Amino acid sequence: MSKKIYMLLVIFMIIVLIVPACARAGTTPDPLAEQKSTVSIPEPAQQEEQQSTAIIESDDPPEQDITLPNLEKLAQLEGSFVVKNAFPDLVFDRPLDLQHAQDGSGRLFVVEQGGKIFVLHGQMPDQAQLFLDISARVDSGGEKGLLGLAFHPRFEENGLFFLNYTQGSSTVVAQFSIDEDDPGKADPGSEQRILVFDQPYANHNGGQLAFGPHDHYLYIATGDGGGAGDPGQNSQDRSNLLGNILRIDVDRQDPGLNYAIPDDNPFRGNTEGFREEIFAYGLRNPWRFSFDAAHERLWAADVGQDRIEEINIIEKGGNYGWNIMEGSLCFDPPSGCDTQGLKLPVYEYEHPLGKSVTGGYVYYGQNLPALYGIYLYADFITGYIWGLAYSQGEEVQNFTLAKTGLNISSFGVDHQQEIYFTAFDGHIYTLGLP
């Protein structure tokens, strides 16, 4: 072998070995690649190649495909879901929240707007026991009342739960505990008020409470304080607690507070006078939010003014637009609004298809496989129930599941993630197939 040929061989080997390595090193793994590759939309061949390279090169294990909805199946079933009365023998007075305690008991807790909470056992579907009655301290009617219930993540050990209710012209967020002598009931005398703030009008009180599945902080929906069009401009004003989703730590206390501000709250330590409890703002009346723990997503439905109902995925520090925008339209000013920095809904629908959205849950139960991984929600006025398929970076797909004619006030899940909803005819329903 001549020296020249030898050198050429060496150069050739260098090219073969090093260039592809450089190319691989320069590949930016696409965080969506795993999700994209599982969607049945045909991709151009070149993209496919890049995606498979990204998967090989990624240090992260491929995301478990635990939530991929079967959209073909769901499309076939569109409109054919039926409503089933989950507890035909039980009738409640304006039920508007349904929670389980994550305590292994399998119990369901039904909240009545007037201030009572009942407990149900799946094994005894014809019986409901009174768990708590604070109706004497709740002002109820219209959008006021006992609006939210959340059990402490360690309820099984500490017996604590939290309520959101209106009293006079205030919202009260308070801690309660179970009765030491009768753990099947709550102690109405155990109330410790955590947070109290004024509500300028009777409507738009928010009311949802839920603990973050990972951070274990308490999230609170507040609403813009009411009236119409946010006359106090509260939702864009971060110096008050209205128009937000708040986040507080109920297990610690900062000086002068009954709770602590989490270290990573977006406005903690600000010098602009913003309330440090704010997690996200620019909301009108978030009527029901929930967590998709598998994706660490916070879903919030925001009730619209006259034109549009919103489904949002809430990000820390995000401004969700009200009252500059109603959905994707300008509201104030009515045209030419400055949309910079505002987060748009992931989905919206216009009146009169519905007039007041009721947010639900991403379904992870077993009974309805076609709905697995689908965000379920409804409209309180028209009674439609829809399912939203969402994957980051993909176009959302909305499916009509049922037209119920019911005033659907809330959704809830049991300890096995099966879905229920409450309606103002007094019943608790679930979804099924004929």
Contact stretch for Ca ion (CB under 5 A) within 49-57, 87-95, 226-234, 391-399:
226-234
Distance CA 145, CA 113 (A): 5
How many of the other CB atoms lie within 10 Å of CB of 29? 16
Q: How far is the CB of 237 from Ca ion (least distance, A)?
A: 5
Q: How far is the CB of 161 from Ca ion (least distance, A)?
A: 26
C-beta of 98 vs 301, nearer to Ca ion: 301
Distance CA 76, CA 63 (A): 27
Residue nearest to Ca ion (CB): 321
Asked if 243 is part of the footprint of Ca ion (rule: CB under 5 A), the reply reads yes
Asked if 279 is part of the footprint of Ca ion (rule: CB under 5 A), the reply reads no
Q: How far is the CB of 388 from Ca ion (least distance, A)?
A: 16
Nearest Cα to 96, choosing from 124, 74, 117? 117
Distance CA 294, CA 116 (A): 32
Q: How far is the CB of 200 from Ca ion (least distance, A)?
A: 11
Distance CA 387, CA 117 (A): 28
Residue 381 host element (H or E) = none
C-beta of 321 vs 360, nearer to Ca ion: 321
C-beta of 55 vs 329, nearer to Ca ion: 329
Asked if 242 is part of the footprint of Ca ion (rule: CB under 5 A), the reply reads yes
CB-based burial label for 326 (10 Å; 0-12, 13-18, 19+)? buried
Contact 145, 96 (CB under 8 A): yes
Which of 299, 320, 375, 384 lies at the binding interface for Ca ion (CB under 5 A)?
A: 320
Nearest Cα to 312, choosing from 330, 324, 326? 326
Which of 67, 167, 175, 234 lies at the binding interface for Ca ion (CB under 5 A)?
A: 234
Helix (H, G, I), strand (E, B) or coil at 55: helix
Asked if 237 is part of the footprint of Ca ion (rule: CB under 5 A), the reply reads yes
Which of 99, 166, 240, 319 lies at the binding interface for Ca ion (CB under 5 A)?
A: 240
Contact stretch for Ca ion (CB under 5 A) within 55-63, 302-310, 368-376, 409-417:
302-310
Which of 115, 321, 354, 387 lies at the binding interface for Ca ion (CB under 5 A)?
A: 321
Kindly compute the dihedral angle of the four CA atoms of residues 308, 221, 244, 286, in this order, to the nearest 10 degrees: 0
C-beta of 51 vs 285, nearer to Ca ion: 285
Residue 48 host element (H or E) = helix 45-57
- Which residues of this protein are in contact with Ca ion, per CB under 5 A? 234, 237, 240, 242-243, 310, 320-321
